[in-house]
Structure 1
Amino acid sequence: MLSLLLTAAMAAATTAPTWQNGLDWHGVHAGISRDAQGSYTLAWPYGQRVIAAQPLRTDTASALFDGLFAMAQDDLALDSVGAIRDGAFDHGQPIPCQCFVTGLKWPYVWTRDLSYAIDLGLWRFDPTRSRNGLKFKLSDVRVPSAPQGLYAMQDTGSGGSWPISTDRVVWFLGARHLLSDKAFAEDVDKALGATLAQDRQYAFDAAFGLYRGETSFLDWREQSYPAWTADEVTFIAQSYALSTNVLHYQALQLAARLADDRHDSKTSAGYRSQADALKAAINAHFWRADRGMYMSYLGGDGTPYDTYDLLGISLAITSGVADGERARQALANYPTWPAGSPVIWPERSDQPIYHNRAIWPFVSAYALRAARMTEQPARIAHEIESVMRGAALYGSNTENYELLTQGQHVDEDKLSGPVVNSPRQLWSVAAYLAVVTEGVFGLGEDGRVEPKLPTSLVPMLFGQRTSITLKLRDRSITLQLPTKYAGNLLVADRSSTLGTVTTVTLKAVQVKDVPLRTDAPLYAPLAPAAPLVRADGDGWRITVDGKVQLYLNGQLQGSIDGSGRLAQQPGLACIDATRVDAHGIESLHSPATCVGAVTKVAGHWPRRWTAPATGDYRVSLDYANDHGPINTGITAAVKMLTVRCDGSDEQHLPIVMPHSVRIQPSTWGRFTARAGAACRFDLDDGFNMSYLAHFAHYTGGSGGSDGPLNQADVHDLLIAPLATGHGAP
């Protein structure tokens, strides 16, 4: 009878893979075999890999599933080293570290790669190496005059690193799993307090209630930000990213929890209040009702960008920032293709394949986690199959794949890619381990077993069997099929534990699922050029190329075709444009053209200015910072502008001056002044990553072994009155 039921289930799941001994994809066959000693041989047209028996194993009907689990363990062993190296640190010489390297082509430890990989489950497989790697990414301060403390490090990156990129708080996403070690837990607590305080000072915008900075992991600017940010990263430093704000939310939640553990109720309440306010701000500003998704990032004045990323949405769901119907919608509305789910959408038709038009297994694993939370069987199966297929086709857990073919490289001239790829990429290894432990067997962080297994995967995993088993070092988990079932999701009916053996009998339930979204257009239209703006009586004459949508100070004004007119208003007017295609997809924004009275204040510090009227003002600096290239380094100049105006409290505005290729404006801050008030401006020292002791090992550019550096060539102070609503929620 059971055989007949299983046969019926297989027939019903007409699109389900039957990947017992291999798979076929785009004319390529990858096959696997197992010998009596428990070794596997994975073969495909261009290669073969023999995988020795591993200490942990799965026992299912699919030799492919079982063998790929063995391969992930073998990849992890190859990534487990006694020394690391990178050409930009210690002149490429080995640095002792009993930890994980990032991948075959990346034999170093990077904060975000390691932290995401640990969060996806490496803490369970090797807690000692996980802690060692995380400790390597902590640092104290080498500048005596700067605030001392223990900080999570932002790696080298866009415009000179932090605070253009501010996702270093991902460190705590990994660290939260490893607090059983008392000494490590104390370091986590210290670093959490110092890092959050510093980000609150330099990256938090009280007007929006959000943290500024780049999207997490999507750090090749032209791939996901407007093309003009290739040599202009100040926009990114001023902007707000969904993923990075969610990471700050999670860090604040952890800080509250650790304060509770210390019985420090006042501190805990403070962190929890900040977390609650941040959650509300994320939902208020990033949710786009017409798309049913959270936007990937916003401009510094709140300009909405019609662009989305799967990691940010998945983190919003798994963190609890998105809950209820929004969580379900956000994932259901995110598009998929047969090979898997892209890390950004829509894609860029003028950019090569890397983050653009690509699948990244570690992001797929977070989407799988989100799909389990929202009980979307089709998405659960889709992400499991995508991660499995990629690993099988290329004999390793590689970094990324092209979206349409799941290829490792697609030749399209200047658009060819993925541009960079690496075998046994650590977070891709973690992704496969997560597919097995979480995605199929339902093993949670707390050790509970809560499977949510799509019935469409029964033919592959169970075949004619009644049970499948995961054997870990300290326990084993067996999932048993019910004798009869109908539904789309298998969940726990009852479970029992005898010693180290947990047996879960499954039951099928029918949950409300939605089909995968497969109807989305692939590309967004290209962004237009910046609008030309000139005075026209009591208004502005706007000239653009073709039909565009016009934005003024972050607010949509409507469409114009070729030219149009806007009424003048008091204060600064910043105007940009987008194109909309036949599908209703909006391009990224053009550069902004800002018009209105701007006062330039030159001279030595302090600089002085008298407010012509009562109101809010925007202030920035013209500067040049040639201490490193646009794409890397640790010498973004970070200062604190102190504003003292008669009749007003002292105001402190962080100013960021990223690496630049020309004189350009810095990030801007907002201050208030009364009519006739005399204002004094002082530029005080801030903090950048070169101040951390760890970066004494940095030999790839300025601010490292040659000493800390936090300077820029500062020119005029720029002051402009802000229009009502400019840069405000």
Structure 2
Amino acid sequence: MTTIAAALLASVLPLPGAFAAESAMRSETASAEFDRLFQLAQTELEQDKVDAITDWSFNDQEPFPCVCFETGEKWHYVWTRDLSFAADLALARLDPERTKTSLRFKLSEVRNPARPQGLFVAQDTGSGGSWPVSTDRVVWFLAARHLLDDPKFADETWRALNDTLAQDRQFAFDASMGLYRGETSFLDWREQNYPAWTAKDTTFIAQSFALSTNVLHYEALRLAERMAGERNDPRAAQYRREADALREAIDLRFWREDRGLYMSWFGPAFAPMPVENYDLLGTSLAILAGVAPQERAQRALAHYPVVEFGSPVIWPQQPNTAIYHNRAMWPFVSAYALRAARRTANAERIEHEIRSLMRGTQRAGSNMENYELTTQDVHVDDGPLSGPVVNSKRQLWSVAGYIDMVQRGVFGLEEEGRVAPLLPVALAKELFGDKREIRLVMPGRTIVLRRPKHWVGPLLGAADVDVDGDTMTIHLGAGEAPATTLVKTGATFAPAQPAAPQATKTADGWKLALPAGTRLYVDGVLHTKEDAARDLVLPASAYSQCLAATAVANDIESLPSPTVCIGPEDRVAGEFPRKWTAPRDGRFRAHFRYRNANGPINTGITAAVKLVQIQCGAMRESVPVVMPHNETETDSTAFMFEAKAGARCTFALEDGFNMSDLAHFTNYTGGKGGASGPLNTADVGTLTIVPAR
């Protein structure tokens, strides 16, 4: 087995010569490098503690006073997801007061008196104008759950939890799927892990479903159930039902039995085709939350591929895409994979992730934001695809992930002070060397691991425990571990996405010409497998049919083409409201043409969020529709409704809610909807209505 020292290749950068004068913690092992890197992580954590924060898009780039954690050397602000994942990994237990201050910075009242009032978690600037294109702000509660021994903070969390969950339920939940819509958490650079064409149109993302984001909603619902129970609040039963249903929907909708993996995302609800895209964070979160049943949890992590020096954050990689999330490994994601490996007792994966975290930090001389996938370098030249495109030293969640690797991954320190080591034997031999014991020394507590008399099994666990004052000694013995083998691969690439299917109306139906190697999906169901180029005819239907294509090479399927829907449709013009008569009984799907030029496709806070007030005879309902930033005319998210034949229907738009309504964004100066006031507008055109099955 390769030793720790040998695994750290010769081309290394020097480590800083000065660490924090008195580090709060230290490890004492036979590996000087292991102990040294732990000190480095603590030094960088101290450097991430600031009294003021700054970002180019806030407060005219003037600093905000805030006793907070900044995000990294290049990122001097507090971002909801970065902070929350870092707090869940380590910050909440290491510096609870600064963590609470940082988390409070991301809570906000409503500044728009015309909108429902409450306390909400802010979704940061992002794809298509932020929430509800991106909906992973609930990650805030993953962090807050560790800090509820403070009654005041617990009350704030309880209030924000109820208000945020209710708002997401209204605007982002799809009852037909039992899932929350929105972008993958952290993987928020559209074309890095979504089809390349989403770089110019994020409506698809707004009506898709992501594994990671749904698991975060599940965790938030479980926290709400727990907090409601502690308060004797009758909503506990409601939250329990919602959490149970969401867990079942996630396991049902995202699991691919043919791959033994959970898909990263899919969508939309009217054409939910399977997607060949998997991500390590979503997989790890599903395992840790208990969403994945044990057998599937073990399979999913065992089947998720690794490369020589770590684990890719997405698989397969996307072609013609620069290195960032694509073709990369991210230390904080590796830290969650390590947690998931411990949960499934996957000895090889535990060792692989620990070595990866050590090697990356040692070679770079810092806990970096990310690394190129095959070399674990901080930058690789590849012409226009060079990267990582952005990289920062002492990235907060990387620092937190490294500290968690030492505390939890090696010494077994779990939540609430529980100690449960699971240490691969090959790694243990190097950390112990000739020592009888290794130890983790922390303020007020010391954890000692004592080697077994004989090295046994692939994995060492606790055989016996002695407690002497503030010192806990764990006697290691054979731990139970299922037989697993790492699926080692290189940078496996998916084929490029094909163009959208082109269907021509004929007397016999709809004629399509499919290139060789193309699969056709109709309403999310595989219709035609790839073979030679061919023509085919789809029979005409009384219902709308939505078509998408993929390419296949080397048993890997591309991401889907844009979706094209064919069949009967009605187009309803007009101002306010629009009127239409139902031609038959049944379900219908509709969307608006619109233009929202209030910000660029990749950032901002002014995604237009509307409520469509539908009245069809005696039937009334209100449904949300989202119009993300797009400077050219495009389609809104779709919505469903039912009508009886001959019913006269009216469709009126009312303002919903977007992030510009929050007081948090009063100081947003990087675009519209901030200092200039709330903004929730779009130029709305034709309403298209189609019969749905």
| 1:478 partnered with 2:478 | no
Q: In the TM superposition, what are the counterparts of 1:170-569 in structure 2 within 5 Å? A: 170-264=139-233, 266-300=234-268, 301-509=271-479, 511-519=481-489, 522-559=492-529, 561-569=533-541
Aligned-residue CA RMSD (Å): 1.2
Q: Which position in structure 2 is the counterpart of 1:617?
A: 588
CA distance in 2, matches of 1:116, 1:353: 22
Deviation at 1:546, TM superposition (A): 2.7
Deviation at 1:349, TM superposition (A): 1.8
1:96–1:52 CA distance, 2 compared to 1 (3 A): closer
2:244 counterpart letter in structure 1: D
Deviation at 1:519, TM superposition (A): 4.1
CA distance in 2, matches of 1:24, 1:192: 44
Q: Which position in structure 1 is the counterpart of 2:38?
A: 69
Q: Report runs of 4+ in structure 1 exceeding 4 Å deviation.
A: none
1:521–1:134 CA distance, 2 compared to 1 (3 A): closer
Deviation at 1:121, TM superposition (A): 1.2
Asked if the contact 1:223–1:355 (Cα under 8 Å) also holds between the matched residues in 2, the reply is: yes
Q: In the TM superposition, what are the counterparts of 1:120-131 in structure 2 within 5 Å? A: 120-131=89-100
Q: Which position in structure 1 is the counterpart of 2:131?
A: 162
1:477 counterpart letter in structure 2: I
Deviates more, 1:713-722 or 1:530-539: 530-539
CA distance in 2, matches of 1:49, 1:593: 59
Asked if the contact 2:422–2:479 (Cα under 8 Å) also holds between the matched residues in 1, the reply is: no
| 1:28 partnered with 2:11 | yes
Of 594, 598, 603, 2:574 maps to 603
Deviation at 1:647, TM superposition (A): 4.1
CA distance in 2, matches of 1:319, 1:24: 33
1:587 counterpart letter in structure 2: S
Asked if the contact 1:378–1:513 (Cα under 8 Å) also holds between the matched residues in 2, the reply is: no
CA distance in 1, matches of 2:20, 2:56: 33
Alpha-carbon displacement from aligned partner over 1:670-696 (angstroms, at most 9, x marks no partner): 000011111111111100000000100
Asked if the contact 1:49–1:395 (Cα under 8 Å) also holds between the matched residues in 2, the reply is: no
Alpha-carbon displacement from aligned partner over 1:334-360 (angstroms, at most 9, x marks no partner): 000011000000001210100001000
SS, match of residue 28 in structure 1:
coil
CA distance in 1, matches of 2:4, 2:388: 29
2:616 counterpart letter in structure 1: C
Q: Which position in structure 1 is the counterpart of 2:121?
A: 152
Structure 1 length normalisation: TM-score?
Answer: 0.93
Asked if the contact 1:51–1:74 (Cα under 8 Å) also holds between the matched residues in 2, the reply is: yes
CA distance in 2, matches of 1:610, 1:404: 59
Asked if the contact 2:327–2:491 (Cα under 8 Å) also holds between the matched residues in 1, the reply is: no
2:552 counterpart letter in structure 1: V
Deviation at 1:486, TM superposition (A): 1.4
Q: Which position in structure 2 is the counterpart of 1:9?
A: none
Alpha-carbon displacement from aligned partner over 1:143-173 (angstroms, at most 9, x marks no partner): 1111100000100000000000000000000
Alpha-carbon displacement from aligned partner over 1:242-287 (angstroms, at most 9, x marks no partner): 00000000000000000011012x2101001000000000111100
CA distance in 1, matches of 2:540, 2:352: 52
| 1:85 partnered with 2:54 | yes
CA distance in 1, matches of 2:199, 2:525: 25
CA distance in 1, matches of 2:4, 2:319: 35
Unaligned runs of 5+ in 1: 1-13, 31-41, 725-729
Asked if the contact 1:647–1:674 (Cα under 8 Å) also holds between the matched residues in 2, the reply is: no
Unaligned runs of 5+ in 2: none
SS, match of residue 553 in structure 2:
coil
Of 101, 105, 110, 2:79 maps to 110
CA distance in 1, matches of 2:272, 2:256: 13
| 1:587 partnered with 2:558 | yes
| 1:634 partnered with 2:605 | yes
Q: Which position in structure 2 is the counterpart of 1:10?
A: none
Deviation at 1:460, TM superposition (A): 2.1
Deviates more, 1:713-722 or 1:205-214: 713-722
SS, match of residue 523 in structure 1:
coil
Asked if the contact 2:373–2:491 (Cα under 8 Å) also holds between the matched residues in 1, the reply is: no
CA distance in 1, matches of 2:201, 2:8: 45
Asked if the contact 1:18–1:459 (Cα under 8 Å) also holds between the matched residues in 2, the reply is: no
Deviates more, 1:514-523 or 1:273-282: 514-523
SS, match of residue 446 in structure 1:
helix
1:28 counterpart letter in structure 2: S
Asked if the contact 2:508–2:537 (Cα under 8 Å) also holds between the matched residues in 1, the reply is: no
Alpha-carbon displacement from aligned partner over 1:101-143 (angstroms, at most 9, x marks no partner): 0000000000000000000011111111100000000000001
SS, match of residue 353 in structure 1:
coil
Q: Which position in structure 2 is the counterpart of 1:4?
A: none
Q: Which position in structure 2 is the counterpart of 1:576?
A: 548
Asked if the contact 1:480–1:503 (Cα under 8 Å) also holds between the matched residues in 2, the reply is: yes
1:540 counterpart letter in structure 2: W
Q: Which position in structure 2 is the counterpart of 1:37?
A: none
CA distance in 1, matches of 2:74, 2:441: 31
Asked if the contact 1:547–1:562 (Cα under 8 Å) also holds between the matched residues in 2, the reply is: no
Asked if the contact 1:401–1:409 (Cα under 8 Å) also holds between the matched residues in 2, the reply is: yes
CA distance in 2, matches of 1:217, 1:683: 32
Structure 2 length normalisation: TM-score?
Answer: 0.98
Count how many residue pairs are aligned between Structure 1 and Structure 2: 688
SS, match of residue 546 in structure 1:
coil
Identity %: 54
CA distance in 1, matches of 2:436, 2:640: 65
Asked if the contact 2:8–2:362 (Cα under 8 Å) also holds between the matched residues in 1, the reply is: no
Alpha-carbon displacement from aligned partner over 1:385-437 (angstroms, at most 9, x marks no partner): 00111110011100000010001000000110000000000000001001001
Asked if the contact 2:4–2:355 (Cα under 8 Å) also holds between the matched residues in 1, the reply is: no
Deviation at 1:510, TM superposition (A): 5.1
1:592 counterpart letter in structure 2: T
Of 661, 665, 668, 1:698 maps to 668
CA distance in 2, matches of 1:100, 1:510: 39
Asked if the contact 2:347–2:458 (Cα under 8 Å) also holds between the matched residues in 1, the reply is: yes
Deviates more, 1:598-607 or 1:273-282: 598-607
